[in-house]
């Protein structure tokens, strides 16, 4: 690993060698609600504040970093991690990405007990799990179902939860 985000001497589990939690979608949803409760994260709140509470930092990727294979999260040790965001993405996209990386922090590093580096979105089980976590954190099932009763306009629903229309569409398909 040759990234400036990695710490010397830390033995990270990387990418596909990270074991999945094998939790069900329902259990991931419950876990995300618990995290939201403990960190006082309400719908529409800024997830970077959750990151800070947990000892993490969000960093923006520079052009010079593109020459290396850069992870999307580096969990160095307990409550010490860096989330790496691409420079040119929308704030809504970033919100989802940050919550996805928090999913890795909770589900795959056990809050830093196991140092890990996860890479950009793939279609492995750990990536699905992180996506379930992000969707659950940003669009709690109960609130999302209530919003669906009020309107079927996905643009309005997406605006309410401050997510992209695509994220709202996927969530609707999963639980609607
Ligand atoms: Zn991921």
Write the pLDDT tens digit of every residue in 89-114: 889 999 999 999 999 999 999 999 99
CATH code, domain with 47: 1.10.10
Distance 102 CA to ligand 1 centre (A): 9
- The confidence score (pLDDT) of residue 86 equals 86
The neighbouring-strand residues paired with 77 are: 80
d(CA 64, CA 107): 30
The answer to whether residue 5 is domain-embedded is: no
Mean local confidence (pLDDT), 84-91:
88
**8 C-alpha to ligand 1 centroid (Å):** 22
> Residue 149 domain-assigned?
yes
Answer yes or no: is 160 within a domain: yes
What's the gap in Å between 38 CA and the centre of ligand 1? 23
Q: Residue 156 CB: number of other CB atoms within 10 A?
A: 13
Same domain flag for 78 and 112: yes
- Same domain, residue pair 174 and 108: no
Residues 128 and 162 in one domain: no
> So what's the pLDDT on residue 2?
62
Is the same domain home to 117 and 46?
yes
Q: Is the same domain home to 82 and 162? A: no
In angstroms, the CA 146 to CA 102 distance is 25
Residue span of the structural domain in which 152 resides: 140-176
Count of structural domains within the chain: 2
Q: Is residue 172 part of a domain?
A: yes
Are residues 124 and 156 located together in one domain of the fold? no
């Amino acid at each position: 690993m040759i990234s400036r985000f990695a710490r010397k001497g830390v033995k990270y589990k990387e990418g596909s060698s990270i074991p999945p939690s094998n939790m069900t979608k329902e259990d991931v949803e419950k876990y995300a609600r618990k995290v939201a409760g403990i960190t006082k994260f309400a719908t529409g709140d800024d997830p970077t504040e959750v990151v800070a509470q947990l000892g993490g930092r969000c960093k923006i990727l520079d052009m010079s970093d593109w020459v290396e294979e850069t992870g999307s999260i580096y969990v160095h040790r307990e409550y010490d991690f860096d989330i790496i965001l691409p420079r040119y993405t929308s704030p809504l996209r970033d919100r989802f990405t940050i919550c996805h990386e928090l999913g890795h922090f909770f589900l795959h590093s056990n809050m830093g007990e196991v140092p890990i580096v996860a890479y950009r979105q793939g279609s492995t089980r750990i990536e699905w799990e992180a996506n379930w976590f992000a969707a659950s954190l940003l669009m709690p099932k109960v609130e999302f179902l209530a919003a669906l009763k009020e309107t079927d306009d996905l643009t309005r629903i997406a605006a309410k939860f401050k997510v992209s229309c695509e994220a709202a569409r996927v969530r609707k398909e999963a639980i609607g």
